[in-house]
Structure 1
Amino acid sequence: MSETVAIIPARGGSKGIPRKNVQRVGGVPLIARTVAAAQQSPAIGRVVVTTDDADIAAVAAEWGADIVGRPADLAGDEASSESALLHALDDLAGRGVDVGVVAFLQATSPFIDVDALTDAVHLVRSRRRDSVFSAVETYGFLWEKGAGGAAAAVNHDLEFRPRRQDRDPHYLETGAFYVMRAAGFRAARHRFFGSIGIAEVPARTAIEIDTVDELELARAIASLVDRPAPIDVDAVVTDFDGVHTDDTVRVDQHGVESVVVSRSDGMGVSLLRDAGIPLLILSTEANPVVAARARKLGVDVIQAVHDKAAALREWADAHGVRLSRIAYLGNDVNDLRCLDLVGWPIAVPDAHPLVLSAARVVLDRPGGVGAVRDLADRVLAGRAAASAPLTTTPPTSPQEAS
Structure 2
Amino acid sequence: MDLDSMSILAVVPARGGSKGIPKKNLREIAGVSLIGHVGQVIQQLPWIDKAVISTDDPKMAEEGGRYGIDAPFLRPEALSSDSATGVDTWKHALVSAEKHYGIQFDISVYLEPTSPFRQAGDIERTVLELASQKHLAAATVSRTPGSYTPHKTLTIDEKGDVAFYLKEGKKFSIRQEIPSYYHRNGICYAMKRDALLACDCILSERCAAVVIDRQVVNIDEPMDLEFARILFGKIMLSRD
- TM-score bracket, normalised by the shorter chain, equals 0.7 to 0.9
Cα gap change, 1:228/1:12 in structure 2, threshold over 3 Å: closer, same or farther? farther
Checking the alignment, whether the CA contact within 8 Å between 1:111 and 1:225 is kept in structure 2 is: no
Structure ID, larger Rg:
1
Superposition deviation, residue 223 in structure 1: 2.1
Is residue 221 from structure 1 mapped to residue 221 from structure 2 by the alignment? no
How has the CA–CA distance of structure 1 residues 183 and 153 changed in structure 2, closer, same or farther, with 3 Å as cutoff? same
Q: Give the secondary structure class of the aligned counterpart of 1:209.
A: coil
Amino acid at match of 1:172: H
Alignment check: 8 A CA contact 2:136 2:205 kept? yes
Partner of 1:71: 76
Instruction: Name the count of aligned residue pairs.
Output: 228
- Tell me whether 1:9 sits opposite 2:13 in the alignment: yes
Which of 110, 114, 132 is 1:126 aligned to? 132
Provide the C-alpha distance between the structure 2 equivalents of 1:93 and 1:155, rounded to a whole number of angstroms: 50
Q: 1:93 to 1:228 in 2, by over 3 A?
A: farther
2:189 pairs with one of 178, 182, 200: 178
Distance 1:158 1:7, change over 3 A: same
**Superposition pairs of residues 1-400 of structure 1, within 5 angstroms:** 2-67=6-71, 68-95=73-100, 96-138=102-144, 140-141=146-147, 142=149, 143-148=153-158, 150-154=162-166, 157-162=169-174, 164=176, 168-205=179-216, 207-225=217-235
- Displacement of 1:174: 1.0
Q: Is residue 9–residue 109 contact of structure 2 (8 Å, CA) maintained in 1?
A: yes
Q: CA deviation at 1:222?
A: 1.1
Return the offset for 1:139: 5.2
SS at match of 1:110: coil
User: C-alpha distance in 2, partners of 1:211/1:221?
Assistant: 16
TM-score by length of 1: 0.52
Identity of aligned residues (%): 27
Q: CA deviation at 1:176?
A: 2.2
Could you say if the C-alpha distance between residues 155 and 42 of structure 1 is closer, same or farther in structure 2, counting changes exceeding 3 Å?
farther
CA distance in 1, matches of 2:117, 2:167: 28
Q: Secondary structure at the match of 1:133?
A: strand
Distance in 2, Cα, partners of 1:8 & 1:119? 18
Separation in 1, partners of 2:173, 2:49 = 47
Matched to 1:211, the amino acid is E
Please tell me the residue identity of whatever aligns with 2:198.
A
Q: Distance in 2 between the 1:100 and 1:202 partners?
A: 28
- In the alignment, structure 1 segments of 5+ residues that lack a partner are 230-363, 365-402
CA distance in 2: counterparts of 1:36 and 1:127, whole angstroms = 28
Residue 121 of structure 1 deviates from its aligned partner by: 0.3
| Greater length-normalized contact order (CA 8 Å, ≥ 6 residues apart) | 2
One-letter amino acid matched to 2:202: R
Task: State TM-score, norm by structure 2.
Answer: 0.85
> Alpha carbons of 1:155 and 1:137: their partners in 2 closer, same or farther (altered >3 Å)?
farther
**1:256 corresponding residue in structure 2:** none
Q: Which runs of 4+ in 1 moved over 4 A?
A: 226-229
Gaps of 5+ in 2: none
What is the deviation of 1:24?
0.2
CA distance in 2 between counterparts of 1:131 and 1:146 reads: 37
How far residue 156 of structure 1 moved from its aligned partner, in angstroms, is 5.2
Q: Look up the equivalent residue of 1:199 and give its one-letter code.
A: V
Across the aligned residues of Structure 1 and Structure 2, the Cα RMSD in angstroms comes to 2.4
Q: Please report how far the alpha carbon of residue 131 of structure 1 lies from its aligned counterpart in structure 2 after TM superposition.
A: 1.5
